[in-house]
Chains A and B, each alone.
Chain A
């Protein structure tokens, strides 16, 4: 059983919601990303989404764009990130790690080479933002050969027909985009998320996490009631950036995750 499936089974059995923080690998630098990953787990993260920096992050709002730019100053590469995951796995064999990024760095490495190396490094899932199911077949095959889950996005604009198609290809979990917009965008509309969740759940038993616009314990708990987990991206990336800017320890940024963990656990009881 994949680490992601095992994790969600355990969470469901414990009636808990998955807490999935997103950080950009190499922000503020590679040396500090590793301790940040461990600290996030310590503060209550169930799954880690590691952003793979790209020069043209089309789906990101300003906060995460800047994080990609900061990482690229140090020439952070997909290879380097796979080494980072290898390091992480030496001390943590339980927490699933998902790489989230854009198609081109993966294209450049080659699907098969990437899948093979990612599998060996201990990556569990891959989410390529700009690779919808229509284009994903070759990558899917490569990932399947190395027992990696391909995680897809579903959006408020997704038709039922497409939901069915994605449900057939997806593994691990489905990432439900809460709003029409880029990461870090405005206010989340819980009613709309709920409606989309119902449409998704009519087609699949896969766990569904919701992301985009979840900023704090309050938004996390409001959304979590209708799904299996929440992704916290821009708010955490922002906290890392301000810690770095203020010269404080970036590990402090993870208190946001601790607070959300407490709030989520309070509602699941």
Chain B
């Protein structure tokens, strides 16, 4: 207990009032949106501590999403890997198949309480788009999802899912036609329809208060995992591993453990063809600080401050920025950020499927691939928790294509 007193940082107290995590975060948007963000922040501050709102959120997570998600000891995979015991936090078992829904449930409830009738969202892999379309269907709201034209082709299955859920999918043809451009377009829509529209951002990026509120909604992952780990193993885990696109599943797992000094944390970015090739999506590993999409954070950019193209086999990690809290955790050394290449992730995808009968999302496969290396370096009595952020059904086409198989 003595330790807790002289602890320098209380992680729960971040961000500061203006949304800063150290030098990162903040609110870099055009003037038209400032009032909408003030309104959102005020509503969130009010509802965050409102018992009824929390009860509604908890009930939806339990009865609609199916929480708590299990913490599963991957016994056979741990044994074959040789080293630490590996536990999987099964976010893949959530309704809609990924952690994304924790956040969309929370933000849709906010929208409802703020009297907004129209939902917009950006999506890369389509998981956040599906999760947004799902909650919009349930609450009887209209839903418009912006998706880069490139991703519309890569993720045809999710596009159709969104349409079946009654959402309109708007292909974005500007810039690189991927997630970042979808986010630009969603911002443009929001500026235009700011009075009646709620923008559900899918990750811990964007202007304040989004990185905070998305983190808070996703923190259910870490709170459950912490309690489950204590119950199942009698102690805290030694390490946490999660993939990092924008960083929402990672911060969701990490945040409730930040004040537990003994717990190491590893965020795994998409190394694409290899960080050394420049063709990757690993801004924390190989980028520099800058401003994009409303916050200051690490970015993939050139010497002139232009955002550069990213590459990853997994559409959900294919983003040139990262949530500002991760940028800060990196700088202060509380979490470590590493990268895993496309082919390592694909190997992990196949391995978990064969050895545990669990087909992971390609995003989550990045975390698996790194955790495997980490587990080998640790003794058998150590434990690692991996955030298995989503299931792999959506990626079957991608994997088949790599295998040279044409699915009809």
Contacts and interface: CB of A to CB of B under 8 A. Distances in A.
Interface of A: 54-62, 65, 69, 72, 75, 77-79, 102-109, 129-132, 134-135, 152-159, 162, 177, 180-182, 185
Contacts of B181: 56
B304 A180 contact: no
Contacts of A102: 291
A232 to B, nearest CB: 19
Contact of B175 (A69, A108, A159): A69
Contacts of A105: 304-306
Contacts of A156: 32
Contact of B35 (A54, A56, A57, A157): A157
Contact of B299 (A104, A132, A153, A157): A104
Contacts of B291: 102-104, 107, 130
B191 A181 contact: yes
A158 B299 contact: no
B377 interface: no
Interface string B195-219: 1000000000000000000000000
Contacts of B180: 56
Given A77-B304, A79-B304, A152 B191 contact: no
Nearest to B299: A104
Interface residues of B, number: 40
A56 to B, nearest CB: 5
A79 B303 CA distance: 11
Closest 4 A/B residue pairs (Cβ)? A108-B305, A105-B305, A155-B32, A103-B291
A65 B174 contact: yes
14 contacts: A56-B181, A57-B184, A58-B30, A58-B184, A78-B304, A103-B28, A107-B291, A107-B305, A108-B301, A130-B28, A131-B28, A132-B30, A135-B28, A180-B32
B175 A56 contact: yes
A157 B304 contact: no
Contacts of B303: 108
B307 A56 contact: yes
A107 B290 contact: yes
B283 interface: no
Interface string B275-299: 0000000000000111111101001
A135 B27 contact: yes
A237 to B, nearest CB: 15
B198 to A, nearest CB: 15
* Chain B contact surface mostly: mixed
Nearest to B193: A180
Contacts of B191: 59, 180-182
A162 B26 contact: no
Contacts of A62: 174
A134 B27 contact: yes
B30 A158 contact: no
A65 B177 CA distance: 13
Contact of B194 (A108, A130, A152, A157): A157
Given A56-B184, A58-B187, A134 B307 contact: no
A155 B292 CA distance: 21
A65 B172 CA distance: 13
A79 B304 CA distance: 8
Contacts of A78: 304-305
Nearest to B28: A130
B35 A159 contact: yes
Nearest to B176: A55
B34 interface: yes
B170 to A, nearest CB: 13
B318 to A, nearest CB: 15
A55 B187 contact: no
Contacts of A79: 304
A167 B194 CA distance: 24
Given A69-B175, A158-B35, A55 B27 contact: no
A58 B122 CA distance: 14
A58 B294 CA distance: 10
Nearest to A157: B35
B36 interface: yes
A154 B31 contact: yes
Nearest to B26: A135
B192 interface: yes
A59 B299 contact: no
Contacts of A132: 27-31, 34
